[in-house]
Structure 1
């Protein structure tokens, strides 16, 4: 005992010194993430001690220095003392990547009630959680490699796996699935089963909580992320090198919020007006610019009403309630431009398109589907219609492959939620995941 209370274990001072050195190394190698590295709150866990020497014994289950969503970094003493400073610093940058990019909020993992996950749970993590962890690791490690920061042995590396660079975790999941299945047939594992904690999937581990680490509040995290994004933008303005993944994140993070309804309306109207501007000659209504003494009847110029087709993502990741409300929004915009009671063709699509529906109102569309997601099939079906549409509006969460080439029609993508992506050749409107009910405009029923 000391005058101030119980004496700290002999190893604790050495562990804290190792963590401090790792922080400095990480901040020096990635200065644009320095504030995030120093925001991590180390929580030193109870170690397993060697029976003969009393020294902490390394636990490989904690080799990734797992973190939780409150920015607590869980440090197992034996593992920390056995890990070189550079490797511990690399894991800090890795965990900052999970936290700042919101992998826990984006996670598709939904464990059964009462199921425990993680290294201390005594159960094997399910395959979905393991694959999401690997895909999220690939998204982060890609940018670390761009800084010439190679990860420890056994971690997922897009470059070493031959995967394309600069993709999101959602895009890496199916790629890694294919590689893992191929390697399983050869009797090998794709990579080691490394657990990064609840920072990657939002599912609390048994070693978390218990008052051992308070971490950051929601406001603290919000302010920290804004500071990081502003710092990255400053480096970009000064022409300093920043990996493309962090550039993309910072651009999205500091992008000013806009009224999504105004954005959606402007995007759809722009698509409609672009198509409607394609005028042509017609003899159905003779031109009024005809001389009194001529037998020649010239055609008039007409502006066709845009023929619009909806492609609706009805995979399991998009709720029917959100789709119904978004359909009402889009339908109202189309009617305001093209007039009421126009014919509207629509496809529901998950991994395949369902039969085309021809309706007068979006509320008449019967939603069908619920499997995987492949909007390429829906767009191809829309372009195969006759007459071919002038405008294709795709309602999706963006977790889908897209056609490599621009279709012949103008395409507007309504992206639901904060995830997913749209192709460069499409016009895009980002829609919140929780679409509030539409208030009818004056004169609407």
Structure 2
């Protein structure tokens, strides 16, 4: 019969601390010998006060209700490696327990909004692109990106029920103006006396794209996929669009871009052209050159097959005075791209210059050899009319213009693609000699693609 001795039973040398009134017998339970060289007692580490942290998040959501979806999408990770709070590109929020312990709830609410703003505005992706374009690889460069990203957020992030955290960086604190983007701020300052007090700043890889040693990485738990991140951004943008009066100007600008993100214009133009040239009714005809396979079901009868003749394209290039030489060069590049979109058949493309009057339509031999004539006012109505008079008649008209023109009053009897030169930079000062001039928007019947 086996004997079972429970740990802590008298006589086994272990204290039965769970039995009331028990006192050890010195003969049976001698006290352990003292350690001749006792180690110092370890310092007690603070535990993360989740109650206080989540109360601050709730206060942030009440102050900025349009950010609530993003705030509650963040997964919290306690970390003693971060100075305050930081985020990674996978939407994890790393929090220092000591920072939470010494920071008021009102300031923590502002930090919540600040950190989630880095992720919503894709500062990690934008920093990576800037780093590649400008060769910014050092830790100092990444610190500048973090500071510039903070300036973009903090210029209008606080107030209206949201306290500004102590030490928050804003553009005025380093001598810059409000209302600009991270990429713009990077050009305007260098690390020096005005920024030496910010050397501690670390908002994580979610702010500057550079992974830290404490990041859980793409394979860590509770990260959001790229699709989930986009869904959160879209939901937040919807909330901002629903309450435009409560949203600061910087966030309204971001929401517009979230609904209408920049597109690869060359791919869009090629896709629009291919859709136009392959659409129903664009050059379809019947031919007996290759009998229809349905003839096999009708002995003695030969049926024609439906053949598609190659589409003819006429490119109308705006050569008015409001179009810059750079834009004309871009138009010639697009002519070469259009040639590739129709299978390299240059004989199918004609190019026509147009300012206030249409010029001669030239067959395409080489895009570099096209002579673009003009320099006066703009009236693309004459260009459309001249394009429709060419022989053979075009199946598709592509108009490359700055949009400062009257448009035909009715839909042309063929498909139309309009390539608009982007007027955010450079030639935006052109006004057709009239300061009150407002160009007409392209008509609804045209497929419009903005050329960057």
TM-score normalised by L of structure 2: 0.52
CA shift for structure 1 position 153: 4.0
Q: Which whole-Å CA distance do the structure 1 matches of 2:178 and 2:68 have between them?
A: 24
Alpha-carbon RMSD across the aligned residues, in angstroms, is 5.2
8 Å CA contact 2:317, 2:351 repeated in 1: no
- The answer to whether residue 150 in structure 2 is matched with residue 137 in structure 1 is yes
CA shift for structure 1 position 331: 8.7
CA shift for structure 1 position 213: 3.8
Report matched runs for 1:17-96 at 5 Å: 17-45=51-79, 47=80, 62-63=83-84, 65-96=85-116
Q: Which has the larger radius of gyration?
A: 2
Query: What is the number of equivalent residue pairs in this alignment?
Result: 299
8 Å CA contact 1:43, 1:72 repeated in 2: yes
Among 187, 198, 215, the residue aligned to 1:192: 198
- When structure 1 is superposed on structure 2, of 142-151 and 79-88 the one drifting more is 142-151
8 Å CA contact 2:109, 2:163 repeated in 1: no
Q: Which whole-Å CA distance do the structure 1 matches of 2:78 and 2:332 have between them?
A: 49
Among 205, 210, 221, the residue aligned to 1:203: 210
1:222 maps to what in 2?
A: 230
Q: Which whole-Å CA distance do the structure 2 matches of 1:327 and 1:155 have between them?
A: 51
Q: Which whole-Å CA distance do the structure 2 matches of 1:252 and 1:246 have between them?
A: 10
Q: Which whole-Å CA distance do the structure 2 matches of 1:106 and 1:221 have between them?
A: 15
CA shift for structure 1 position 20: 1.0
Deviations 1:52-105 (A, max 9, x none): xxxxxxx7x522x11001110011222222222222221111111110111111
Give unmatched runs, 5+ long, in structure 1: 1-8, 48-58, 112-116, 118-124, 268-302, 315-321, 344-358, 366-384, 411-423, 433-445
1:311 maps to what in 2?
A: 326
Give unmatched runs, 5+ long, in structure 2: 1-43, 273-315, 355-363, 379-399, 403-418, 443-447
8 Å CA contact 1:146, 1:243 repeated in 2: no
Deviations 1:228-260 (A, max 9, x none): 111111112xxx411111111112222389895
CA shift for structure 1 position 143: 2.6
Q: Which whole-Å CA distance do the structure 2 matches of 1:327 and 1:409 have between them?
A: 29
Question: Where in structure 1 do 4 or more consecutive aligned residues deviate above 6 Å?
Answer: 256-259, 322-325, 330-333, 385-393, 424-428
Compared CA separation, residues 339 and 309, structure 1 to 2 (3 A):
farther
1:33 partner SS: helix
Q: Which whole-Å CA distance do the structure 1 matches of 2:130 and 2:260 have between them?
A: 28
1:196 partner SS: coil
8 Å CA contact 2:61, 2:68 repeated in 1: yes
Deviations 1:272-291 (A, max 9, x none): xxxxxxxxxxxxxxxxxxxx
CA shift for structure 1 position 306: 2.4
Report matched runs for 1:16-415 at 5 Å: 16-45=50-79, 47=80, 62-63=83-84, 65-107=85-127, 108=129, 110=131, 126-145=139-158, 147=160, 149=162, 151-177=164-190, 184=192, 187-189=193-195, 192-193=198-199, 194-209=201-216, 213-236=221-244, 240-255=245-260, 260=265, 306=319, 309-311=324-326, 328-329=336-337, 339-340=350-351, 361-362=366-367, 402=426, 405-406=429-430
CA shift for structure 1 position 261: 6.0
8 Å CA contact 1:389, 1:409 repeated in 2: no
CA shift for structure 1 position 225: 1.5
Compared CA separation, residues 431 and 309, structure 1 to 2 (3 A):
closer
